[in-house]
Structure 1
C-alpha cells in the first residue's frame, strides 16, 4: 500500500507555499473564488494568517474525511508536526473539539484552535458553498 502524498515533505512544503499565496490573494481581494470567500469568513472569526495557511494546506492535501454527522477524521501530517496518524474533530453544541487537545501541548491547541479544526472548518464551508452553487457557477478555487 502506497503512503499518502502528504508523507512526502516536498509535497507538504509545496502545499504550504501554495496555501500561503492563496490566503494572501484571498485577503487582498485578488481572488474571488468560493474558497476565498471561505478564507475571508474564517479570517474574520480567527484573524491568524498562519493558522489559515496551515489549515488550507491540510484541506488541499485532502486530509479531511467526514466520518459521520458532526465527526471528521483529519489525517496526521508528520511534516506539520503531527505525531499521530489521525485526529478526530467533532462539532457539537456549536463548538469544535479535536483529539489533539488530549495530546502533548493540547492545552495550547485548545486555546488557539488547532489547524485540524481549521481544515474541517474550510471543508464544511466549502461544501456548503458548492452545494448551493447553480450549475456552471464559476471556479472552485
Structure 2
C-alpha cells in the first residue's frame, strides 16, 4: 500500500490484470518521507494521468531548495545563506533546462504523505482489491 504497491496496482488495473494488494499498515503514510520525485518517475505518473494532481500537491515545496547545516538557528550567517541560495537557484535553472531537453516532465518535490493518497484514489477508481491492516501469511 506504499508508493511501489499502489503504482503497481494502478498499472495492473489499467492493463486489466486482477490483483490483491495487501498492506500491513492501517492506511497510507502518516509521516512526510520520500520527498523527491525524479523526472522519469513523473513521466510514469504522467502516463497514469496523475502528473497534474501531483504538481498541485507539490506546490508547497516548489521553492524549497538545498539544505544547510548549522549548530543553531542563531548561528546562520545571512550573507552565506543568500550566496548559497543564489547558487542553488542558478543550478536549479540549469538543471530544469536540461530536463526540458529530454522530457515533457520535470522533477517534483512531493512527500509520500501527500503522494500516496493521490495514488490510492486513482487505484480505487479502477478494479482491484486493496486490503490495509492485513498480512499475507501463506500463499498457495
Q: TM-score when scaled to structure 1? A: 0.24
Structure with the larger strand share: 1
- For the pair shown, the structure with the greater C-alpha radius of gyration is 2
Q: Which structure carries more relative contact order (alpha carbon 8 Å, separation 6+)?
A: 2
Q: TM-score when scaled to structure 2? A: 0.24
